[in-house]
Chains A and B, each alone.
Chain A
Amino acid sequence: EAGVVQSPRYKIIEKKQPVAFWCNPISGHNTLYWYLQNLGQGPELLIRYENEEAVDDSQLPKDRFSAERLKGVDSTLKIQPAELGDSAVYLCASSLGRVSGGVSYNEQFFGPGTRLTVL
């Protein structure tokens, strides 16, 4: 079974340029997360989707960041314009969401991340 897929793996851009990251979650996972990971820190949640709905975007800087998950499957995170401080790794994760029957619905599976460098 394929894991969470992210692209690109690396991106270098000039400040004030736009950038977009793509994530394809594990098949059947209803919940999708975007995390930001600064160097030497743990991941911090930016936004969480339940199917197509963004149910928690309180940590997303909405002046420059946007995200979408139009068909409830893959998702795109965009930054426009990028700033020097946006340099970080952007992680996507997915989980099953509401299930029953003893299946671990809490487990979040992470992709490899996109390392963004803003010059």
Chain B
Amino acid sequence: GENVEQHPSTLSVQEGDSAVIKCTYSDSASNYFPWYKQELGKGPQLIIDIRSNVGEKKDQRIAVTLNKTAKHFSLHITETQPEDSAVYFCAASMVAGGSNYKLTFGKGTLLTVNP
């Protein structure tokens, strides 16, 4: 089955700096890679996702890059703000024929943005 490794497990940055979280996956059949943000006491919330037919996707201060050859993908947050502090999870899934397949999550990165 799929295995997703996520690094670092904790990340502390100063407000305004950039933050980068990296993930690797094992199953070359995976073609959908979402990133979730989880705040304390809440469920994970999708913040951005990317499919294997593109190499990069950006949404305001958040961007995700995908390297299919190396089987790794990264989350980039620019101009970090204290409200970006949370646990971030990467995940991988194989989607075919319009059906959902299970998401395999990384272990998460605790991001702390210091004011």
Contact = CB atoms under 8 A, between A and B. Distances in A.
Contacts of B46: 107-109
Interface residues of B, number: 26
Contact of B43 (A31, A91, A99, A105): A91
Contacts of A95: 100
Contact of A105 (B42, B91, B98, B105): B98
Given A31-B100, A106-B93, A40 B42 contact: no
A31 B97 CA distance: 15
Interface string B33-59: 010100001111110010000000000
A110 interface: yes
Given A109-B46, A112-B41, A112-B43, A99 B105 contact: no
B75 to A, nearest CB: 14
Contacts of A110: 36, 43-45
A4 B43 contact: yes
A15 to B, nearest CB: 25
A25 B33 CA distance: 22
12 contacts: A4-B43, A42-B106, A42-B108, A91-B43, A95-B100, A97-B98, A97-B100, A104-B49, A109-B46, A110-B43, A112-B42, A113-B43
Given A42-B4, A48-B100, A109-B46, 12 more contacts: A4-B43, A31-B100, A33-B102, A43-B89, A91-B43, A91-B44, A98-B99, A100-B98, A107-B46, A108-B100, A110-B36, A112-B41
